[in-house]
């Protein structure tokens, strides 16, 4: 529930009951690729253990299946139409409250390590510190153009090279980045434990794997030696070609090369291998919590920004509301607070902010903007609510690359409805048809259901105005980007500050103080 009190009160309220929160975020992970969601192939002992001892959400979704929009949904608890977070070059205003702002007001120290893909000069958005730069640009250079949907985009990273060239390498751009993210995550845990700051902490460790390209180190590739890597369950020609799928195929040049069964197996093997790589890093983070003796005081949240089609329906990557693109893994692990269970209710990334706010002991702070999400704490607990709960639904909006008008998605119970003004509607019964082979929108027995979904769209969205806003926003960003690239260029990329004069041992520091402050747990005996 919203809480009362001044901001000053909120800044100073803190108690020993406030847990630390470690958010481990992956990039582009479909639940179907994880053993705890039914995959029989992937080697993920750490994630499996988190699932066995935690709360697993079986119907968690990305509200906007593209990197930046999805992350803005998580950070703000709002949909893209509420923040302008439409695509991978979308600007997030500094006036938009984020989960880091709410956590700080609740008395938390806030740290970001890794990818968040903030765009604009504000690269903190409520975090007190960042441990790394981002892997992707912070400027407007990746702004799409809905008015020229067939234009080949020179900056677009997705094509079939990622699939055709899948395999092994000891060093890649992404491996270098995630090695740094993992190392800095562990060091952040050490620094948080040793700090004089007594506040609880929120640490977000956000990796870029297993996002394409599908390239992995040999040691992880070899984990799958002799393993039968399954092919997609639904081929390109097994289902009708809807207009948005056709646009995505054209956008990423999916029909310009032949993707063989062997290509698909190699890409999937590398993808699974990189999940094993992330599992290893996650295990190291958890082992560090154990070594620092703070595991029982820390709630671990594991999730992803969106999924990956991995060849299902002949599609790769994301940007659609089909299950492998839009569904995400989500696990809340806190054995001292929540008994292990699986949750079938539909939930989504916009629920993360109110969940962390409630974990902080403050509920949702007085809201200056409406939140689209609801806390997940009631679903994590084992006590039935005092009142009949309001049925949960997931709402999604996609206004990024590959679209030419807003696309909406609703998940209610086992039904998923997808609507765009320029495309035929889609309705799927996920219980009877989990692979979404049969569009039921014209089923005469579901006419009332379809009509109800269409009323929801009409009553909740002015899609013409949203379209106009996206077009205008794209135009402004392209103009600003062109101007800022003319003459002297001042990048927005975040550069972590490093003061080497205060690191390790220096002659202006007292050696005993340095050694004493760097040791954790501290020594229990002081020699005179």
Catalytic residue list? 67, 117
Distance CA 526, CA 528 (A): 6
Question: What is the number of other CB atoms lying within 10 angstroms of the CB of residue 41?
Answer: 17
| Closest to 204 in 3D by CA, of 295, 128, 309, 121 | 128
Distance CA 145, CA 474 (A): 6
The set of residues, in sequence order, having a beta carbon less than 8 Å from that of 162 and lying 6+ positions away, is 212, 213, 214, 267, 316
The set of residues, in sequence order, having a beta carbon less than 8 Å from that of 266 and lying 6+ positions away, is 166, 167, 214
Q: Per-residue DSSP letters for 36-80?
A: GGT-SS---HHHHHHHHTSEEETTEE-SSSSHHHHHHHHHHSS-H
Radius of gyration over alpha carbons of the chain, in Å? 23
Helices (H) and strands (E) in the chain, counts: 16, 17
Inter-residue contact 277 to 220 (CB < 8 Å): yes
> Which long-range contacts (C-beta less than 8 Å, at least 24 apart) are formed by 255-259?
256/159, 256/160, 257/160, 257/164, 259/160, 259/163, 259/164, 259/311, 259/314
Tokens of 110: 């806030």
Distance CA 138, CA 140 (A): 7
Burial (0-12, 13-18, 19+ Cβ within 10 Å), 214:
buried
Q: Is 513 helix (H, G, I), strand (E, B) or coil?
A: helix
Distance CA 177, CA 75 (A): 22
Tokens of 99: 């989960």
Residues in the chain: 528
- What's the CA dihedral at 333, 335, 338, 339 to 10 degrees? 110
| Closest to 310 in 3D by CA, of 377, 454, 211 | 211
Distance CA 332, CA 55 (A): 5
The set of residues, in sequence order, having a beta carbon less than 8 Å from that of 368 and lying 6+ positions away, is 97
Tokens of 187: 């060091």
């Amino acid at each position: 529930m919203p809480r009362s009190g001044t901001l000053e009160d909120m800044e100073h309220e803190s108690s020993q009951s406030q847990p630390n929160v470690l958010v481990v975020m992956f990039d582009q992970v479909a639940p179907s690729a994880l053993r705890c969601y039914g995959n029989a192939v992937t080697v993920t002992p750490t994630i499996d253990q988190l699932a066995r001892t935690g709360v697993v959400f079986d119907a968690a979704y990305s509200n906007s299946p593209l990197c930046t929009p999805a992350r803005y949904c998580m950070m703000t608890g709002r949909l893209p139409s509420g923040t302008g977070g439409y695509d991978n070059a979308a600007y997030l205003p500094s006036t938009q409250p984020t989960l880091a702002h709410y956590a700080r007001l609740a008395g938390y120290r806030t740290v970001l390590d890794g990818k968040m893909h903030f765009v604009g000069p504000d690269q903190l958005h409520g975090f007190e510190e960042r441990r790394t730069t981002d892997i992707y640009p912070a400027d407007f250079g990746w702004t799409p153009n809905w008015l020229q949907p067939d234009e080949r985009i020179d900056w677009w990273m997705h094509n079939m090279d990622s699939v055709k060239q899948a395999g092994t390498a000891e060093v890649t751009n992404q491996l270098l980045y995630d090695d740094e993210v993992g190392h800095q995550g562990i060091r952040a845990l050490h620094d948080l434990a040793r700090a004089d700051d007594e506040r609880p902490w929120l640490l977000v460790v956000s990796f870029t794997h297993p996002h394409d390209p599908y390239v992995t180190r040999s040691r992880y590739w070899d984990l799958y030696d002799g393993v039968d890597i399954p092919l997609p369950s639904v081929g390109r020609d097994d289902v009708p070609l809807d207009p948005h799928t056709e646009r995505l195929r054209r956008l990423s040049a999916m029909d310009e090369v032949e993707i063989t069964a062997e290509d698909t197996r190699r890409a999937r093997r590398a993808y699974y291998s990189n999940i094993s790589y992330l599992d290893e890093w996650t295990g190291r983070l958890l082992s560090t919590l154990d070594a620092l003796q703070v595991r029982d005081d820390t709630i671990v949240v594991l999730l992803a920004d969106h999924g990956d089609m991995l060849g299902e329906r002949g599609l790769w990557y994301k940007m659609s509301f089909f299950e492998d693109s839009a569904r995400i893994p989500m696990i809340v692990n806190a054995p001292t607070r929540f008994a292990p269970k699986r949750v079938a209710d539909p939930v989504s990334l916009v629920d993360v902010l109110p969940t962390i706010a409630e974990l902080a002991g403050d509920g949702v702070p007085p809201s200056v903007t409406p939140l689209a999400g609801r806390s997940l704490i009631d679903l994590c607990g084992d006590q039935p609510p005092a009142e009949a709960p309001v049925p949960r639904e997931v709402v999604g909006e996609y206004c990024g690359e590959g679209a030419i008008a807003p696309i909406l998605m609703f998940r209610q119970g086992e039904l998923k409805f997808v609507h765009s003004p320029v495309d035929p509607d889609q309705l799927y019964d996920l219980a009877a048809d989990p692979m979404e082979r049969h569009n039921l929108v014209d089923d005469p027995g579901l006419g009332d259901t379809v009509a109800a979904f269409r009323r929801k769209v009409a009553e909740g969205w002015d899609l013409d105005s949203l379209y106009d806003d996206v077009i205008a926003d794209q135009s402004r960003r392209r103009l600003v980007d062109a101007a800022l690239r003319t003459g002297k260029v001042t990048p927005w990329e975040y550069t972590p500050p490093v003061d080497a004069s205060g690191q390790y041992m220096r002659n202006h520091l007292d050696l005993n103080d340095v050694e004493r402050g760097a040791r954790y747990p501290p020594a229990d005996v002081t020699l005179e």
